[in-house]
């Protein structure tokens, strides 16, 4: 085993440390490595150790690039690295470069880069787009990618891997180290990096994870877990510092409020989620780092980030949804390497009780779930090609080879690459319209920007995160300090006087002024609404499958309330089990209900419900509405469904999907993201929207135009591919039908034990035949009535108002 | 569908497409067609938009002309995205526009985008006057009554921003007619100062009125 060079060995010894075996393994590693280590394993130092050792012998120019998904992490690492560097007097300059870095610093870094640069995938893509890129990166020896498991989950990872392929061309001989939390398939993650040797750190002791004992049983339905607030409070009182994870922002707001109602000891408890203002989040993070908080209620917003050594308890309120994420969250507790992490689960309802038990089994078996990563998306490749052109001329043959060396694009065909290139050059339309104004021109066998000034706009569009449009929330009085942000569609649904929760306070919506939602304090009253839209994660295939299996097997080992519930279901109707899809129909009041236990996750169920209600509408069954959970979907209608198997025919569903895609808000949302990443529409930068009028037009117009005139267009194809996962999640419907070939139609006399909780769930979706027009007509009529104008026709309105003009 | 209303002592009809029919002048008014926008964006090195945007706009304009059979068509400015707009049209789109020429007398009011520009027929003017009302690109406060465009007004109804006509005491402002146009919330300055109190008319299959307060 390679020994540490002397100054490093002394430094470790002075601190009473000895290097972990995986730290030494990385030091002696040749080529690319992927280090799988739990949090607190000295993972980051391990990643930097080889760089520091090499740099101690002094290098020239940029030696090591560190990429992390979080800006805050880059800043934190800089502080952490300064300790060994200063104490060993290493001649090493470390700087960070993110969206927050001042422009003069960024300019200087382009001319005089530090030895170690800490950055994000977006800032790296930007740096690679400058003509100076070959010079900046010529001496680059190492790249360290932190939290690579998180980056690999989305398009940011695809972009980063394309950037890495570029770096390998600019700096041959580069070594890449990926740092990852525990994942289900290290080999796949290594392949994502383009191939790497996997080094596993000692995973440490098995976690201590169990259900949190509660005074009351979980309720039948709902997702907020309020029944357990006193029990969670007691657990917080018994721990040093607790992270309470909860699945959505609205639930976090509500649970935070409930927790304070029972916080008799007045313990300092904070709230952290993505809709809070950056300052508010920063304050909570700083208070945690300083050990001033006893607990923080948070969402996925704290899944990543700085290690807080003091956290000794993690509580997950609500369904864990994914075993892998649960394990990673559990790892947030006890960052000390040699102690077990302690975590407690709090199911919010009976189905989630099953899911929590299933998740505990999976954790104990080390059976992490995860879906295979789809191939690299084409919109990201389009952006990469355009940004590559910003840096300088390229030839397509070389670039194709380089792109194929990026893990996510290893299977890219030349035809797909050419389609992306054609999109960048001519727009890729069937109708050739831009021969004169190609974005890229072929000169001397090399592709380059026709108009070099275009580089500025392309650089402004860098990145793959397309957030929903948000509006800032401000108090009307008190100087109007920003409280947080809400999605535009949520803001649009508010009427003056509506109250909602944000930042732990109930506020009243006063008005929407341009891009600001003005609110006033509404005291401690119950909020009318606490829903921020936002993506709800679906339970993974593997975990939902375990729940399905648990329901279908013997219930002897289950807690009595669960066993009784499922046994009753078996007597009245049918029990879902692996391989068979159970559908129930039953009457209730003057409605007929269809409950389908698909176990395909809420997104796929929502898509399926939309497709099924459409087909029911065609069959004149009078569908009126539906509701979905991760486990099932429930549709109510005027007439009963008689032939469930026919309704579920895959061919008809697929045909229906195509038609339905024509005008669907989810698809338009996916298209907007694809079109933005590919550079068809310029992203709305903060500030740009505020300045004057909105000159940009809605991406929906482009979607409709393409659907009508150019249905084979690359971006529609990319949108269809995106619809296989995520919001539309069509792939899981296909998988559900494939994995459950037997369809059981149970005709129950009345509502069944499994379906009853569905009736209590919030979030019903009404089916509207001629939807929007009717809504608009109703609102216009209401406004006219409010103004006392409803009895008058158009001609008289103006005259009655007294502004009929001078004539 | 059309919605009749009165402005400055005259009768008008708002078309669901965003065009305005003025029966006593037998005039069809449209604002902000922004023809040639895909070409202009491309020329300046920007995104290459689906090239059918102009065809969509011209299709809607043709439909409006067939619906009311006007003697005169008045474009209220920004008919072209810039002065080079007419040359930038795709050949097929230019042919559609030429076929519309004999259907009416054409008046092209100068907008801030194209200035005094015609596509080779009709008259380019800074302003047009008729029936005691001025037709101009931008409403001039205190100098009404005028009919104008420029602002691309939109209003939020049932949660969605839709293009609207704004009918105030002295100013009538049309929504943008072009396919590739964005919009501006009608609660944003200076629009309330021009058209409140008044009437908004939301476009769509059935144009509908609501009060502007």
Tokens of A213: 């004992």
Residue A533, judged by CB atoms within 10 A of its CB (0-12, 13-18, 19+), counts as middle
Lowest-confidence pick of A278-292, A540-554, B165-179, B197-211: A278-292
Give A525's pLDDT tier (boundaries 50, 70, 90).
low
Predicted confidence at residue A51, as pLDDT, reads 86
Higher local confidence (pLDDT), A307 or A101: A101
Mean pLDDT of the residues in chain A: 85
DSSP state of A19: -
- For the ranges A7-21, A196-210, A308-322, A685-699, which has the lowest average pLDDT? A685-699
Q: Which residues contact B179 (CB under 8 A, 6 or more apart)?
A: A701, A705, B53, B54, B56, B57, B60
Residue A686 has pLDDT above 60, yes or no: no
ipTM of the complex as predicted: 0.91
With bands split at pLDDT 50, 70 and 90, how would you rate the model's confidence at A382? very high
Which chain B residues are closer than 8 Å to A514 by Cβ?
A: 185, 187-188
Task: Inform me whether the C-beta atom of residue A495 falls under 8 Å from chain B C-beta atoms.
Answer: no
Kindly report which listed range (A23-32, A166-175, A760-769) carries the lowest average pLDDT score. A760-769
Beta-carbon-side half-sphere exposure of residue A263 (alpha carbons within 13 Å): 15
Write the CB contacts of A275 (distance below 8 Å, at least 6 apart in sequence).
A249, A484, A485, A486, A502, A532, A534
**pLDDT at residue A538 in the model:** 85
Is A208-365 the same fold as A6-200?
Answer: yes
Confidence check: pLDDT of A708 > 70: yes
Shortest Cα–Cα distance, B143 to chain A (Å): 13
For residue A710, which residues of chain B lie inside 8 Å, CB to CB?
50, 52
A35 pairs with which residues across the strands?
A179, A199
A504 Ramachandran zone, left/alpha/beta (phi>0; psi -120 to 50):
left
Mean pLDDT of A356-379: 90
Best B42, B50, B173 member to test A by mutation, with max A CBs in 10 Å, is B50
HSE-up (13 A, CA, CB side) for residue A96 = 22
More confident residue, B99 or A682: B99
Does the pLDDT value for residue A126 go beyond 70? yes
A790 neighbors A796 (Cβ within 8 angstroms): no
The residue written with tokens 């020329």 in the block is B43
For the stretch B97-109, pLDDT in tens is 999 999 999 999 9
* Interval A753-797: pLDDT, tens: 999 988 887 666 666 543 345 556 667 777 777 766 655 444 444
Pick from A208-217, A321-330, A636-645, A759-768: least confident: A759-768
Instruction: Give the pLDDT score at A536.
Output: 66
Residues 443 through 482 of chain A touching chain B, CB cutoff 8 Å: 449-451, 453-454, 457
Task: Indicate the Cα dihedral angle A261, A264, A268, A270, nearest 10°.
Answer: -10
Task: With beta carbons less than 8 A apart as the criterion, state whether A706 and A542 touch.
Answer: no
Q: Which residues of A touch B145 (CB under 8 A)?
A: 805-806
Lowest mean pLDDT among A193-207, A482-496, B17-31: A482-496
**Chain A residues near residue B45 by CB distance under 8 angstroms:** 439, 449-451, 453-454, 457
**What was the pLDDT predicted at A390?**
97
**Average pLDDT of span A400-416:** 97
pLDDT value, residue A182: 82
Q: Is A772 on the interface with B (CB under 8 A)?
A: yes
* Closest chain B residue to A710, measured at CA: B50
Give yes or no for residue A155 having a pLDDT over 90: yes
Find the length of chain B. 213
User: How far is it, in rounded angstroms, from Cα A531 to Cα A751?
Assistant: 28
pLDDT digits (tens, 9 = 90+) for B156-172: 876 677 899 999 999 99
Q: What is the pLDDT at residue B116?
A: 94
Nearest CA in chain B to A698: B182
Q: What is the mean pLDDT of residues A29-39?
A: 85
Per-residue pLDDT tens for A71-98?
877 877 888 888 888 988 888 899 989 8
pLDDT at A695 over 80: no
Q: Do B132 and A772 touch (CB under 8 A)?
A: no
Average pLDDT over residues A507-524: 78
Which residue has tokens 């559990």? A330
Predicted confidence band at A662 (pLDDT cuts at 50, 70, 90)? low
Over residues A289-307, mean pLDDT: 85
Token reading at A628: 């979905």
Domains of chain A: which residue ranges? 6-200, 208-365, 478-521, 553-766, 771-801
Chosen CATH of B2-212 out of 3.30.300, 3.30.1360, 3.60.21, 2.70.50 = 3.60.21
For chains A and B, CB pairs below 8 A equal 170
Reduced to 3 states (helix: H, G, I; strand: E, B; else coil), residue A355 is: helix
DSSP assignment of A534-592 equals -PPPPPPHHHHHHHHHHHHS--TTS-HHHHHHHHHHHHHS---BTTEEEEEEEEETTEE
CB contact under 8 A, A457 and B46: yes
- Report DSSP letters for A305-345, one per residue: S---TT--EEEEES----HHHHHHHHTTS--STTS--EEEE
Measured in angstroms, the CA of A698 and the nearest CA of chain B are apart by: 7
Asked if A680 contacts B49 with a C-beta cutoff of 8 angstroms, the reply is yes
Question: In this predicted model, which residue has the larger pLDDT, B58 or A280?
Answer: B58
pLDDT band at A237; cut points 50, 70, 90:
very high
State the DSSP code for B151. Answer: S
A773 touches chain B (CB under 8 A): yes
d(CA A597, CA A354): 14
Interchain pair B209, A780: CB under 8 A: yes
> Which residue of B44, B151, B188 is in closest CB contact with A514?
B188
Question: Model confidence at A800, in pLDDT bands (50, 70, 90)?
Answer: very low
Alpha-carbon distance B109 to B123, whole Å? 8
Name the superfamily (CATH) of residues A208-365: P-loop containing nucleotide triphosphate hydrolases (3.40.50.300)
Residues A726 and A691 sit within 8 Å (Cβ to Cβ)? no
Q: Is residue A599's pLDDT more than 60?
A: yes
CB–CB contact B202 A797 (8 Å): no
Closest CA relative to residue A148, chosen from A122, A178, A176: A178
Q: Which chain A residues are closer than 8 Å to B55 by Cβ?
A: 709
Answer whether B5 sits within 8 Å of A795, measured CB to CB. yes
CATH 3.40.50.300 fits A6-200, yes or no: yes
Q: Compute the average pLDDT of residues A171-190.
A: 91
Q: Give the pLDDT of residue B82.
A: 92
Q: What is the pLDDT of residue A795?
A: 44
Please state the separation of Cα A722 from the chain's center in Å: 14
**Residue B156 with chain A: CB contacts under 8 Å:** 492, 512
Q: Strand, helix or coil at A647?
A: helix
């Amino acid at each position: 085993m390679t020994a540490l060079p002397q100054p490093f060995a002394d430094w470790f010894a002075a601190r009473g440390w000895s290097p972990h075996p995986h730290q030494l393994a990385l030091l002696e590693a040749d080529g690319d490595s992927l280090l799988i280590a739990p949090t607190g394993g000295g993972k980051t130092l391990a990643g930097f150790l080889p760089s520091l050792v090499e740099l101690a012998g002094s290098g020239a120019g940029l030696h090591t690039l560190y990429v992390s998904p979080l800006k805050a992490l880059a800043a934190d690492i800089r502080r952490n690295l300064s300790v060994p560097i200063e104490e060993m007097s290493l001649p090493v300059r470390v700087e960070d470069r993110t969206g927050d870095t001042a422009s003069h610093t960024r300019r200087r870094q382009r001319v005089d880069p530090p030895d170690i640069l800490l950055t994000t995938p977006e800032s790296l893509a930007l740096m690679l787009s400058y003509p100076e890129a070959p010079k900046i990166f010529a001496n680059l020896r190492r790249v360290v990618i932190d939290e690579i498991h998180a980056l690999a989950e989305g398009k940011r990872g695809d972009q980063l891997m394309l950037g890495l392929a570029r770096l390998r061309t600019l700096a041959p001989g580069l070594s890449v180290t990926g740092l990852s939390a525990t994942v289900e398939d290290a080999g796949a993650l290594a392949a994502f990096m383009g191939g790497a040797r996997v080094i596993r750190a000692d995973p440490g002791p098995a976690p201590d994870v169990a259900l949190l004992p509660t005074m009351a049983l979980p309720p039948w339905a709902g997702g907020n877990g309020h029944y357990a607030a006193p029990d969670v409070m007691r657990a917080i009182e018994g721990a040093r510092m607790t992270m309470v994870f909860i699945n959505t922002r609205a639930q976090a707001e509500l649970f935070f409020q409930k927790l304070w109602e029972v916080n008799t000891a007045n313990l300092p408890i904070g709230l952290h989620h993505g809709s809070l203002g950056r300052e508010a989040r920063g304050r909570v993070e700083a208070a945690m780092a300083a050990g001033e908080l006893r607990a923080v209620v948070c969402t996925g917003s704290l899944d990543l980030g700085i290690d807080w050594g003091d956290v000794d308890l993690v509580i997950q309120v609500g369904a864990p949804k994914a075993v892998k994420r649960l394990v990673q969250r559990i790892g947030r507790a006890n960052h000390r390497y040699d102690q077990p992490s302690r975590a407690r689960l709090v199911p919010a309802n009976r189905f989630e009780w099953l899911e929590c038990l299933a998740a505990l089994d999976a954790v104990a078996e080390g059976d992490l779930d995860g879906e295979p990563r789809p191939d690299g998306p084409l919109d990201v490749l389009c952006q990469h090609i355009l940004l590559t052109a910003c840096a300088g001329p390229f030839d397509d043959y070389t670039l194709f080879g380089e792109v194929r060396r990026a893990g996510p694009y290893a299977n890219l065909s030349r035809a797909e690459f050419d389609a992306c290139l054609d999109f960048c050059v001519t727009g890729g339309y069937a109708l050739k319209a831009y021969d004169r104004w190609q974005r890229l021109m072929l000169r001397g066998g090399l592709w380059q920007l026709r108009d070099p000034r275009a580089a500025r706009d392309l650089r402004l569009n860098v990145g793959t995160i397309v957030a929903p449009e948000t509006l800032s929330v401000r108090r009307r009085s008190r100087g109007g300090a920003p409280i947080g942000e809400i999605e535009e569609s949520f803001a649009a649904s508010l009427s003056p006087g509506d109250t909602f929760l944000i930042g732990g306070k109930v506020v009243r919506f006063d008005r929407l002024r341009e891009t600001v939602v003005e609110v006033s304090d509404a005291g401690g009253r119950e909020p009318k609404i606490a829903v921020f839209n936002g993506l709800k994660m679906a339970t993974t295939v593997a975990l939902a499958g375990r729940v399905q299996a648990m329901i279908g097997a013997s219930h002897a080992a289950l807690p009595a309330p669960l066993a009784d519930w499922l046994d009753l279901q078996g007597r009245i109707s049918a029990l879902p089990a692996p391989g068979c899809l159970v559908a129930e129909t039953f009457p209730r009041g003057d409605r007929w209900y269809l409950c389908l236990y698909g176990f395909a996750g809420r997104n796929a169920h929502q898509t399926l419900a939309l497709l099924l209600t459409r087909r029911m509408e065609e069959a004149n069954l009078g569908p009126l509405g539906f509701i979905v959970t991760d486990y099932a979907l429930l549709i109510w209608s005027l007439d009963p469904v008689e032939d469930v198997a026919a309704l579920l025919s895959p061919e008809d569903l697929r045909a229906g999907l195509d038609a339905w895609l024509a005008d669907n808000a989810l698809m338009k949302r996916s298209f907007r993201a694809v079109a933005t990443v590919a550079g068809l529409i310029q992203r709305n930068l903060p500030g740009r929207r505020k300045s004057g009028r909105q000159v940009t037009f809605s991406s929906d117009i482009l979607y409709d135009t393409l659907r009508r005139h150019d249905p084979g267009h690359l971006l529609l194809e990319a949108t269809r591919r995106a619809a296989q996962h995520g919001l539309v999640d069509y792939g899981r419907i296909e998988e559900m039908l494939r994995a459950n070939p037997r369809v059981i139609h149970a005709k129950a006399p009345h509502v069944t034990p499994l379906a009853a909780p569905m009736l209590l769930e919030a979030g019903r979706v009404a089916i509207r035949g001629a939807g929007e027009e009717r809504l608009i007509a109703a609102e216009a009529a209401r406004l006219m009535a409010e103004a006392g104008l409803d009895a008058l026709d158009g001609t008289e309105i103006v005259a009655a108002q007294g502004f009929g003009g001078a004539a | 569908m059309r919605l009749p209303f009165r402005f400055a002592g005259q009768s008008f009809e708002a078309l669901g497409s965003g065009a305005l029919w003025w029966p006593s002048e037998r005039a069809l008014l449209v604002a902000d067609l922004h023809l040639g926008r895909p070409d202009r964006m491309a020329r300046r090195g920007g995104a290459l938009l689906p090239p059918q945007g102009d065809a969509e706009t011209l299709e809607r304009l043709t439909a409006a002309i067939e619906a009311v059979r006007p003697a005169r068509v008045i474009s209220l400015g920004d008919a072209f995205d810039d002065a080079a707009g007419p040359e930038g049209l795709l050949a097929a789109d230019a042919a559609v526009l030429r076929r519309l020429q004999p259907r009416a007398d054409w008046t092209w009011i100068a907008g801030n985008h194209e200035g005094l520009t015609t596509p080779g027929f009709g008259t380019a003017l800074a302003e047009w006057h008729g029936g005691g009302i001025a037709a101009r690109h931008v409403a001039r406060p205190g100098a009404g009554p005028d009919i104008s465009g420029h602002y691309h007004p939109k209003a939020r109804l049932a949660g969605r921003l839709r293009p609207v006509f704004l009918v105030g005491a002295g100013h009538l402002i049309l929504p943008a007619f072009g396919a590739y146009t964005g919009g501006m919330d009608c609660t944003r300055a200076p629009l309330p100062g021009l058209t409140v109190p008044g009437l908004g008319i939301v476009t769509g299959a059935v144009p509908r009125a609501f009060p502007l307060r």
